[in-house]
Amino acid sequence: MAKQINVALIGNPNTGKTSVFNQLTGLNQKVGNYPGITVEKKEGICKLPRGLRAHILDLPGTYSLNASSIDENVVIELLLNKNDKDYPDVAVVVSDVENLKRNLLLFTQIKDLGIPTILVINMADRMERKGISLDVELMEERLKTKIALVSARKNMGIEELKEMIINYRHIPVEPCVNASVIDPDYFGRLRKAFPNQSLYKLWLVITQDVNFGNINRSEITSNTDFHTKSISDLKRLQQKETILRYQFINGVLRETMTVDKDAATDLRSRLDRILTHKVWGYVIFFGILLLIFQAIYSWSSYPMDLIDAAFASLGEMARNSLPPGDFTSLIAEGIIPGLGGIVIFIPQIAFLFLFISILEESGYMSRVVFLMDRIMRRFGLSGKSVVPLVSGTACAIPAVMATRNIEHWKERLITILVVPFTTCSARLPVYLIIIALVIPDRSFLGFNLQGLTLMILYLLGFGMAIFSAWALDKIMKTRSKSYFVIEMPNYKVPMLKNVAINVVEKTKSFVFGAGKIILAISVILWVLASYGPGDDFNKADEIVTAKYENPSEMPEQDILEEEIASYKLKHSYIGHMGRFIEPAVEPLGYDWKIGIAIISSFAAREVFVGTLATIYSVGSDQEETIKNRMAAETNPVLGGPLFTFASGVSLLLFYAFAMQCMSTLAIVKRETNTWKWPLLQLITMSGFAYLVALAAFQLLK
């Protein structure tokens, strides 16, 4: 195997780390988690000339090496632990040319750890407009490193960066700031006690709660020589260190950078004035949401119709071309409809993520966070809760992870508890099919009623999240103390590559994450529906035929077959299970088939549609799409169609509020380290959902 270089991309948030990462690795990347904790880990491979390969790690954004969140801790632990398999041979600090002063603080800290450190000055394409000019050579000399002037957007400077990575051994590792001058005496004693360790690493270990390599933190801090400093002494020294670093940075920038102030435009401040306006800000945000949901509806209907038709004919083809028997029936009635139930929602999910990533990329999402902080405060949440709540529209699992940025534990806990109310993409398939069935496809004041319903459901989920946060805040008597700091990045035209990679990756994880479960459950359901106990199931043919004593009363062949199939289904294993829970769901307007689908939804909500697809096509030989099949169902108690406005709304509300996701429960357990909170979510959310669905059906029927 060729030699592999470990590269870590480090930098403040929004400096373009991920963009540089995408340029270096393309689609050669994978996203996972750091072991034991739930911070997202992005890594990829970059092929370099001369057969070399670089393993690139896109680390979470961090402002300094003085950790204040779990995300930042990941960076520090990696840089302090030489034994970590990802320990970088070379660190690449990504900075934004417009915020060099702040960005360089982190650079100087990392440089002082003695790791070869390359400085990337990104967003070089904006220098001309902002009137910034740099003396890169002089800066390299003063910072004692190699500098790559890069524009990830224009794909400029990336080749030079690769060249620097290859030659990382030539980068000097001497520090650029001598931190020990803040307390020479103390650092002198440290030096003597641990002569073989990097002094700056020791200092970092002492000032924060991390271990490194084979030195244990307690080993240092319990050493009487170093016990002499109180926490507040250490904090004061840390501040001294920061001031020292800024003095150094200011000196460097004075010599090497000039900014022609007149060239700077005030477009940003004018945009900010409107987009974060007390009234217009919200109106615009609301308008954008409305537009997004309308677009999801109308644009994705074309590919969805195609997929629908394709899977219908695929099933037909399998039935016609394979020999009849259990195997064919498994393929045609279990696997193909199950797969179709996943694939059909790819267009909508892709569109949703397309819009979310455009909002993020453009810098607008940060304004939304800022705007929402005014409201969130009142409900015991922080402005930072908006990010989890908005990511909750994709999936509650990354959203629960995203709460790690909230420093205040109670605000964080409340956010975790309410996030599952936001409408995740797994609910989308359920909503879409029910809406298509029970909401007329008409316009109201120029808006499509179905799109409007979908938007109301999203707002309902969001509203419920906010309301329960408020209630929890009252119950827990939280007085929130955290301060709200948010970076306002410049407005930018979104980078196509970033958006595309994000959409592909999110859609992939939906398809493969959910797909496996959906397929497995489709097969289990097919088995449960294709076999049954006793004669009722096994002799269904004879029993149904026997009802017609007089051969002249015998109905036509295909009607008879349907009757047999439905009789069989009713007496299959799944039929028994469904009828067992039917009394509980009947007051909500559902029959036993929907009952089954609800139960299987606990594995993953989107299974609902696949389940119904399987249940219905098992009963039918006809080439019908799932939607038509559902429309033809009748209510066993009330007669008439099963999916009416009343039962449809009841079902929509049930899915809006119920806690039906095993994976979310598992992640909440992991984040809160107790079963107490996930169980609370399961019981209260599902109980509430049941009551609301019950009330809705009883009032509307």
Identity of the residue, 152 or 394, whose beta carbon is nearer to ligand GDP in the bound complex: 152
| Least distance to ligand GDP, CB of residue 361, Å | 4
| Least distance to ligand GDP, CB of residue 125, Å | 5
Contact footprint for Mg ion (CB under 5 A): 18
Identity of the residue, 397 or 501, whose beta carbon is nearer to Mg ion in the bound complex: 501
Taking a C-beta distance cutoff of 8 angstroms, is the pair 512, 342 a contact?
Answer: no
Which of these segments, 121-129, 335-343, 528-536, 675-683, binds ligand GDP (CB under 6 A)?
A: 121-129
Which of ligand GDP, Mg ion, none does 153 bind, CB closer than 5 to 8 A by kind? ligand GDP
Which of ligand GDP, Mg ion, none does 492 bind, CB closer than 5 to 8 A by kind? ligand GDP
| Least distance to ligand GDP, CB of residue 574, Å | 47
Measured from each CB, the residue nearest to Mg ion is 18
| Residue 340 annotated as lining a ligand binding site | no
Decide if residue 102 touches ligand GDP (CB under 6 A): no
Taking a C-beta distance cutoff of 8 angstroms, is the pair 52, 7 a contact?
Answer: no
DSSP 8-state assignment for residue 236:
H
| Least distance to ligand GDP, CB of residue 286, Å | 23
| Residue 17 annotated as lining a ligand binding site | yes
Taking a C-beta distance cutoff of 8 angstroms, is the pair 616, 626 a contact?
Answer: yes
| Residue 599 annotated as lining a ligand binding site | no
Identity of the residue, 181 or 504, whose beta carbon is nearer to ligand GDP in the bound complex: 504
| Least distance to Mg ion, CB of residue 675, Å | 33
Question: Of 363, 346, 230, 359, nearest to 296 (Cα)?
Answer: 346
Decide if residue 10 touches ligand GDP (CB under 6 A): no
| Least distance to Mg ion, CB of residue 385, Å | 20
State the DSSP H helix or E strand holding residue 196, giving kind and residue range, or none if neither: none
Decide if residue 76 touches ligand GDP (CB under 6 A): no
| Least distance to Mg ion, CB of residue 59, Å | 9
| Least distance to ligand GDP, CB of residue 487, Å | 9
| Residue 402 annotated as lining a ligand binding site | no
How, if at all, do strands 29-33 and 40-47 pair?
Answer: antiparallel
Identity of the residue, 31 or 330, whose beta carbon is nearer to Mg ion in the bound complex: 31
> CA 13, CA 95: separation in Å to the nearest integer?
9
> CA 65, CA 112: separation in Å to the nearest integer?
11
Decide if residue 11 touches ligand GDP (CB under 6 A): yes
**Three-class DSSP category at 421:** helix
Work out which of 5, 17, 171, 668 binds ligand GDP, going by CB under 6 A: 17
> CA 437, CA 394: separation in Å to the nearest integer?
24
Report the 10 Å Cβ neighbour count for 612.
25
Work out which of 40, 77, 125, 624 binds ligand GDP, going by CB under 6 A: 125
| Least distance to ligand GDP, CB of residue 495, Å | 4
Hey, what are 577's tokens? 């299970």
| Least distance to ligand GDP, CB of residue 360, Å | 7
Which of ligand GDP, Mg ion, none does 598 bind, CB closer than 5 to 8 A by kind? none
State the DSSP H helix or E strand holding residue 637, giving kind and residue range, or none if neither: none
Taking a C-beta distance cutoff of 8 angstroms, is the pair 607, 521 a contact?
Answer: yes
| Residue 414 annotated as lining a ligand binding site | no
| Least distance to Mg ion, CB of residue 94, Å | 10
Identity of the residue, 139 or 499, whose beta carbon is nearer to ligand GDP in the bound complex: 499
DSSP of 568-598, one letter per residue?
HHHHSHHHHHHHHHHHHHGGGT--HHHHHHH
How, if at all, do strands 257-259 and 53-58 pair?
Answer: unpaired
State the DSSP H helix or E strand holding residue 216, giving kind and residue range, or none if neither: none
Identity of the residue, 361 or 582, whose beta carbon is nearer to ligand GDP in the bound complex: 361
Using H for helix, E for strand and C for coil, what is the string for 100-165?
HHHHHHHHHHHHCCCCCEEEEEECHHHHHHHCEEECHHHHHHHHCCCEEECECCCCECHHHHHHHH
| Least distance to ligand GDP, CB of residue 470, Å | 31
Hey, what are 518's tokens? 């959906």
Work out which of 6, 7, 8, 19 binds ligand GDP, going by CB under 6 A: 19
Site string for ligand GDP, 322-361 (x = CB under 6 A): ---------------------------------------x
**How far, rounded to the nearest angstrom, does the alpha carbon of residue 567 sit from its chain's CA centroid?**
44
Identity of the residue, 12 or 450, whose beta carbon is nearer to ligand GDP in the bound complex: 12
Identity of the residue, 359 or 642, whose beta carbon is nearer to Mg ion in the bound complex: 359
| Residue 124 annotated as lining a ligand binding site | yes
Q: Which of residues 135-194 bind ligand GDP (CB under 6 A)?
A: 151-153
Decide if residue 405 touches ligand GDP (CB under 6 A): no
> CA 35, CA 69: separation in Å to the nearest integer?
17
Q: Which of residues 476-505 bind ligand GDP (CB under 6 A)?
A: 489, 492, 494-495, 498
Report the 10 Å Cβ neighbour count for 692.
18
Identity of the residue, 384 or 427, whose beta carbon is nearer to ligand GDP in the bound complex: 384
Work out which of 5, 8, 10, 15 binds ligand GDP, going by CB under 6 A: 15
> CA 400, CA 418: separation in Å to the nearest integer?
10
**Bridge partners, 44 (sequence order):** 29, 56
Provide CB contacts within 8 A for 449, sequence distance 6+: 439, 440, 441, 442, 443
Return phi, psi of residue 542, to 5°. Answer: -65, -40
Report the 10 Å Cβ neighbour count for 446.
5
Work out which of 53, 126, 217, 236 binds ligand GDP, going by CB under 6 A: 126
Identity of the residue, 11 or 380, whose beta carbon is nearer to ligand GDP in the bound complex: 11
> CA 176, CA 61: separation in Å to the nearest integer?
22
Alpha helix (H) ranges present in 257-279? 267-275
Q: Can you say which residues are annotated as belonging to the binding site for Mg(2+)?
A: 22, 25-26
| Interface positions with ligand GDP (CB under 6 A) | 11, 13-19, 61, 122-123, 125-126, 151-153, 361, 363, 489, 492, 494-495, 498
Q: Can you say which residues are annotated as belonging to the binding site for GTP?
A: 11-18, 36-40, 58-61, 122-125
Q: Can you say which residues are annotated as belonging to the binding site?
A: 11-18, 22, 25-26, 36-40, 58-61, 122-125
